[in-house]
Amino acid sequence: MSVFVQEVTKLYGSQKALDRVSFEINSGEVVGLLGPNGAGKSTLMKIISCYIPASSGIVKVNEKDIREDSIAVRRQVGYLPEQNPLYYDMYVKEYLGFVAGIHLPSRSIKKRVEEMIELTGLSAEQRKKIGELSKGYKQRVGIAQALIHDPKVLILDEPTSGLDPNQLIEIRQLIKNAGKEKTVILSTHIMQEVEALCSRVIIINKGNIVADDPVEILRKQSRPEKVFLIEFDRQLKADELKSLDFIKSAEQNGENKWKITSKGNEDIRPALARFANEQNLLILSLAMEESRLEDIFHLLTSQ
């Protein structure tokens, strides 16, 4: 077991930010932590990284208890906080050397800094001050500092927020590479990011876990019915479609185009084809909409 969280509660004064949260993460899993603002994601990540203590509950990283053996846990965890706190007046190389010095013996620092600069694509920018870097490159420095001691568990708090589309792709690729050999927990608001990077999703709402499933299973749960987009070669009345017993609703979204919701969870494309045949209609296009993670996220976090 890579990360073990049992009945963890966190109180800030009288406010409960986490309420008896429990889950386990196996080595090598890449887990997305989703939830609206204020759900408790950062609090949970700070607790696992030993930045703040839990009010109660047990957290273990690779069998080490964060209260009993916090130094051993810190050795195994790399953490990129949400605001990526960097020293803007330090040079990239200087800063990474400084962070490496916290973890490693002095003889290994130079080589490790060079490796990290190479790995995170910082070579061209390595002689600049951190304050002079673009946001994407600052994130690379943040990821480099999180990886510098070769931790087994990588915790990234909204690593791609505020990046432009190109930077986003590059940082995702970096995370993907890191995820090949590490356990990764990352928080994000972006569903495509979860789909691109994570094998499993934990959704938190108001300090409680409301879903913990593989991405595929969560997506399947997201809608009890299926949605189809169809285009006929001529106009139809809504009633003609709605009278069919396998259709729950039909909404016109173009001249001869319809958005149809099925009554059950079945694929009604063959039934639609039969209907069209009987009515002498031609189907110009027909597609089943993929159910989306957004839907389940909205469903689970809107109360």
Figure out which of the listed residues 8, 34, 41, 193 binds ligand ADP, where binding follows CB under 6 A: 41
Give just the sign of the alpha carbon dihedral 209, 214, 215, 218: negative
Region near ligand ADP per CB under 6 A, out of 37-45, 195-203, 243-251, 263-271: 37-45
Q: Which C-beta is closer to ligand ADP: that of 122 or that of 204?
A: 204
Helix, strand or coil for residue 165?
A: helix
Interaction of residue 38 with ligand ADP, rule CB under 6 A: yes
Interaction of residue 42 with ligand ADP, rule CB under 6 A: yes
The alpha carbon torsion through 165, 171, 172, 175 (nearest 10 deg) reads -170
Q: Minimal distance in Å, beta carbon 38 to ligand ADP?
A: 4
Q: Which C-beta is closer to ligand ADP: that of 162 or that of 224?
A: 162
Q: Which C-beta is closer to ligand ADP: that of 16 or that of 257?
A: 16
Figure out which of the listed residues 35, 97, 142, 159 binds ligand ADP, where binding follows CB under 6 A: 35
Q: Which C-beta is closer to ligand ADP: that of 125 or that of 158?
A: 158
- Between CA 34 and CA 47 the distance in angstroms is 17
- Between CA 151 and CA 132 the distance in angstroms is 28
Q: Which C-beta is closer to ligand ADP: that of 166 or that of 302?
A: 302
Figure out which of the listed residues 17, 31, 99, 272 binds ligand ADP, where binding follows CB under 6 A: 17
Q: Which C-beta is closer to ligand ADP: that of 2 or that of 43?
A: 43
Q: Minimal distance in Å, beta carbon 23 to ligand ADP?
A: 15
Give which of 193, 192, 279, 272 is closest to 226, Cα–Cα.
272
- Between CA 146 and CA 216 the distance in angstroms is 29
Bridge partners, residue 59, by sequence? 5
The alpha carbon torsion through 161, 166, 167, 172 (nearest 10 deg) reads 80
What Å distances lie between residue 226 and 241, 250, 268, CA to CA? 16, 12, 9
Region near ligand ADP per CB under 6 A, out of 31-39, 108-116, 132-140, 245-253: 31-39
What Å distances lie between residue 10 and 21, 46, 150, 246, CA to CA? 9, 11, 29, 48
Interaction of residue 43 with ligand ADP, rule CB under 6 A: yes
Region near ligand ADP per CB under 6 A, out of 23-31, 34-42, 123-131, 210-218: 34-42
Interaction of residue 12 with ligand ADP, rule CB under 6 A: yes
| Residues of the shown chain interacting with ligand ADP in the complex, contacts defined by CB under 6 A | 12, 15, 17, 35, 37-43
